Amino acid sequence: MASYVIRRLLIGALVLFLVSVIVFLLVRLLPGDPLTAFVGEGELGTLTPESRALLMARFGLDKSLTMQYVDWVTGLFRGDLGQSIAHGQDISSLVAYSLPITAHVGALSLMIIVFFGITFGVICALKRGTWIDTVLTLLANLGITMPSFWLGILSIYFFSLLLGWLPTSGYTSPFEDFWLSTRQLILPVMVIASTGMAGLVRLGRTVMLEVMMQDYVRTAWAKGLRERVIIVRHELKNAMIPIITVLGMMIGMVFSGSVIVETIFNIPGMGRLTVTALFDKDYQVVQFSVLMMGAIIILSNLIVDISYGWFDPRIRLN
Amino acid sequence: MKKLIWVLLALVLVSSLVLSGCNQEMGTTTSPISPSATTGKTTETPATTKTQSSTTPKSEKYGGTLIMASTLPVRNLGYPGYATSPGDPFYSCPAIESLIDSEYGTYVPRLAKSWDIAEDGKSVTFHLQEGVKFHDGTIMDAEAIKFCFDIARQGERTELRVVNSIDVLGDYTVRFNLDHFDWTFMSTLAICEFARVYSPLAIQTYTPEELATHPVGTGPFKFVDYKRDAYIKYERFDDYWQKDADGNQLPYLDAVEIRMYGEATTGLLAFKAGELHRWDIQVQDIEDIEASGFVVSESIGGQSIIYPDGANPESPFSDVRVRQALAYAIDRVGITEAVGEGYWDPGYQMVGDWSEFGYNPDVKGYPYDPDKARQLLKEAGYANGFKTTIITEMVSDTILAMQENLAAVGIEAKIQEMSQTATVELMWNGWDGLIIGGLGWKGGHADIMSSLVTGYLTPGLRVSMIYPPEVDELVEKIKSEQDLVQRKALMDELEIVFIDKYCVNIPLFETTGFTAMVPYLHGMNIEESFWSSQGKLEKVWLSEK
């Protein structure tokens, strides 16, 4: 197991290196530069060549591409994440502020996805063919097809504007005002969770139906075990392998999906930081955000792979 | 069956936990402020008024928190000389003031109560307001101005390079020694964020990065808190230097909060839901907003312009007849009526008729005349037309209409949509064809010099747009002509040369911005503000707190 983990980590490091090169080059292929985004069209037009040169030097854009990459990577190894051009701050301070917010929203969304997605998927399988199955499957199909941007705006319009039940947007730390924080997060968490939940319901239903047809399940019924024991210990546990695989992918999806939701709901998390950095051509922020996303996905996949062994002893023994 | 009951029970518990929070009033940052304050829904349409009766008892003006918002980013709110972006004046306006202001094309006092321009134009002496304090308690005097502007003029922005030195002549008298007189110097002092007045103590205490989001100035409100991508908060500055006409201490408001939205639609919904007191809107939203009981005010406007690559010798637009044909080919009146919904005006010269300082009624311009356009193209050797490209940030109905107009006279224009940064990049490095650009600003606050700067003096445009020596000479004279009557005469001459003779670029439309406000917000005076969202907040008050 240890050698497996080390091997996966080494491969992950190689992947991250490739990601760093690709994102470094790609972001610079986009038209424009941080200067034009920083100053804005209205004021950029009035900049003299001298002003422009001073700003390029301040942002380190006067160096060669190779030197910019080397400076960035060596800085990462020193713990220096770089400087944001747009915000004029260390990226570490930006991330220290934004990452917990995204983690908060993401964790809540994942909890809802896991709990309701698996629960409803199991219910659909157990009640297949009934009106419950029909309704839940229909909702799941809708959840998958509805784009989060559209769903977000619509939910604000309905729950905030028409009904006046919830705030339109914003984020408050739960330690500052727990109830305001909760009310502000209801809509964005539900929007992020909707797609994940829908996918998990459909997958859960399919996988549970397969497992329910297995011989060992029939044996368990024949032995007279209680329904709850059969579902939890025999059916659900065997259905978890593909579900965990999808959940691992969803961790990346939840963090990347937060890009749209955080922008719509005005949540100052990593997603919003990345989006504005992209529009601002804030190279170092984009580079670090993508690299961090890659690391999260690699780690989550690794955790998923390791967890297979816990759920399926056959994998452990092999 | 039991499973279903457990699941439903869990749902009920979670729902009750969540919804229990909904019974409480919204927190201080989201207090409902819709026209109908009881339900958040509009149940009636109150009469919309732009001004409030002046008989309101002055005590009722005090109190309340003004909540505004923008989608613009924050760059530099509090350090002189560093680059800023268009949103910065808005976010810093509660706290930062300038030496002078721009109103209706001229300059008016602010922190400087008067000024004298030397006859030779080599210096401008400002006489400062007395008794003005910075938020940190220090005094705004001549030494403070010198300190602040010595940093500003040596910073990244070079507009103040015309200032050679700054002398302190007395406690409240300071002289800027210029290399030569240039109206853009006065324009810079009036409208540029980096050339405002900041506390020297704060500059010496904090780093530029800290001051970028922590402005310390002389404004009616002092900085309280900033959360990136969320808000910036200010509270009333009790030692503010201004009083109202009755001698009452300003400002009226207790606090100002400016929120930052990533998405304009969210901002609009927040405004309609009662979470904001004002929001900038598009022309197509006016009817809906007014029907909902809000007030709509015209705000900052600008001009839409076509920049042809006349400096490119291989371009058809290097021939003045082709540029004139282009100008004749566009049906500005038809487009403004169809797209502008009655709020736009056709533009035929550099400055619209809203300005006495720049508009020349003797300019012929190029009213819509496709036959004339075809004739000019034929004379220029393009009887069969030619192909070109329209570079724009957004393919709108206006662009499509213009494409049709050009096609009708034989100019086949392909539309190339590019991001704003890419468009600006092209303006700096040169382009082929036509670029649709903007020009600010119009209205009561507009400053002719800033219009000239953005529309003509922009350094990057010289790569592709023609700059006839005759035009250059006139512009230089205008910049340094102290006598406003003579300056107006030079502007009149410039308009004729720029438009009728050389057709350097093609003005299209005078556009207008709009700001929606709740009816109980008073004193904002959007029309008189330089920036659409930048009001003189010291006189703003809420009749519903």
Report pLDDT for A258: 79
What crossing angle do the helices spanning B370-379 and B320-329 adopt, rounded to 10°? 160
Q: Which residue has the tokens 């499509």?
A: B400
pLDDT category of residue B44 using cuts at 50, 70 and 90: very low
CA B302, CA B150: separation in Å to the nearest integer? 32
B275, A48: Cβ pair inside 8 Å?
no
User: Which one has a higher pLDDT value, B524 or A1?
Assistant: B524
Query: In chain A, what residues touch B162 (CB-CB under 8 Å)?
Result: none
CA A200, CA A301: separation in Å to the nearest integer? 17
> Is A28 an 8 Å CB contact of chain B?
no
Average pLDDT of chain B, as a whole number:
83
- Tell me the H-state helices in B273-351: 286-291, 320-329, 332-339
CB atoms within 10 A of CB B330: 26
> Is B13 an 8 Å CB contact of chain A?
no
In this structure, what DSSP letter does residue B243 have?
B
* pTM of the entire predicted model: 0.82
Query: In chain A, what residues touch B261 (CB-CB under 8 Å)?
Result: 169, 266
Kindly report, residue by residue over A142-159, the tens digit of the pLDDT.
988 999 889 999 999 999
> Is B210 an 8 Å CB contact of chain A?
no
User: Which one has a higher pLDDT value, A202 or A62?
Assistant: A202
Query: In chain B, what residues touch A33 (CB-CB under 8 Å)?
Result: 421, 425
Q: What string of DSSP letters covers A187-212? A: HHHHHHHHHHHHHHHHHHHHHHHHHH
Tell me whether the omega of the peptide bond preceding residue A167 falls within 30 degrees of 0, making it cis: no
Kindly report, residue by residue over B190-209, the tens digit of the pLDDT.
877 788 999 999 999 999 88
Give the max Cα distance, chain B.
95
User: Which one has a higher pLDDT value, A63 or B149?
Assistant: B149
> Is B262 an 8 Å CB contact of chain A?
yes
Phi, psi of A77 (to 5 degrees): -65, -25
Query: In chain A, what residues touch B90 (CB-CB under 8 Å)?
Result: none
pLDDT category of residue B418 using cuts at 50, 70 and 90: confident
Most confident of A6-10, A84-88, A303-307, B63-67: B63-67
Evaluate if residue A249 carries a pLDDT over 50. yes
Report pLDDT for B421: 66
Evaluate if residue B52 carries a pLDDT over 50. no
In this structure, is the dihedral angle defined by the CA atoms of residues B416, B420, B426 and B431, taken in order, positive or negative?
positive
Report pLDDT for A248: 81
Query: In chain A, what residues touch B156 (CB-CB under 8 Å)?
Result: 51, 54-55, 58
**Mean pLDDT to the nearest integer, A248-273:** 84
- Gap from B307 CA to chain A (nearest CA, Å): 13
Residue ranges with strand state E in B133-188: 163-170, 173-178
User: What 3-state DSSP class applies to A182?
Assistant: helix
Minimal Cβ distance to A38: which of B75, B266, B459: B75
CA B35, CA B353: separation in Å to the nearest integer? 36
Evaluate if residue B33 carries a pLDDT over 90. no
Report pLDDT for B36: 32
Token pair in block for residue B410: 């034989």
Phi, psi of A152 (to 5 degrees): -65, -50
Kindly report, residue by residue over B226-279, the tens digit of the pLDDT.
999 999 999 999 999 999 999 999 999 999 999 999 889 999 999 999 999 999
Report pLDDT for B37: 32
Report pLDDT for B491: 87
> Is A50 an 8 Å CB contact of chain B?
yes
Q: Which residue has the tokens 């080919």?
A: B329
Enter the ipTM: 0.83
Tell me whether the omega of the peptide bond preceding residue B441 falls within 30 degrees of 0, making it cis: yes
A32, B424: Cβ pair inside 8 Å?
yes
Minimal Cβ distance to A40: which of B85, B272, B460: B85
Minimal Cβ distance to A46: which of B212, B275, B454: B454
A266, B85: Cβ pair inside 8 Å?
no
Evaluate if residue B352 carries a pLDDT over 80. no
Kindly report, residue by residue over A110-124, the tens digit of the pLDDT.
999 999 999 999 899
CB atoms within 10 A of CB B523: 19
CA A255, CA A235: separation in Å to the nearest integer? 30
Kindly report, residue by residue over A164-191, the tens digit of the pLDDT.
999 999 999 999 999 999 999 999 999 9
- Gap from A25 CA to chain B (nearest CA, Å): 17
User: What 3-state DSSP class applies to A262?
Assistant: helix
